[in-house]
Amino acid sequence: MYRIRPIFTKILSRTDVKHRMTIPMDSFNVFQIPQGKHSKRFVFIDMIDTGRPWSFRCSTRKKDVYPKPVFSSGWIKYVRRKGLGEGDKVSFFFVEKDGEEGLRFGVQAQKKLRLWGKDCWTTPF
């Protein structure tokens, strides 16, 4: 059995789907980048696509007091595979599996649909 804890959910902007996804600063401490480095790769389990792994590089500015963290390498490939666009939603999670040690990261994409004047969310295929 899996236990899932949310890290953050974000409505995607134009920049998020065309170039790189900015990470909210209040969630950045989850992604531990070693001292003296400005990037690190993280593997995320696709929560919809039968646990498929996705690798995203989390990076920060090299010479700025404000780090402005982003997911870059690997992120746009995920966006294209899922057919995501501006206004769609993505959620990130901590995932624990019974019988296994340690935490994993999970990711789930949702497409925005407008039905009868209301926003609805569905998972992409």
For residue 125, is pLDDT > 60?
no
Q: What is the pLDDT of residues 15-73, one digit of tens each?
A: 999 999 999 988 888 888 888 888 999 999 998 877 789 999 999 887 777 778 999 99
Looking at residue 28, its pLDDT comes to: 85
DSSP 80: H
Q: What is the pLDDT of residues 69-114, one digit of tens each?
A: 999 999 999 999 999 999 999 999 998 877 677 778 999 999 988 8
Tokens at residue 30, please? 């989850």
For residue 121, is pLDDT > 90?
no
Strand (E) or helix (H) holding 94: strand 89-97
How many Cβ atoms are within 10 Å of 83's Cβ, its own excluded?
11
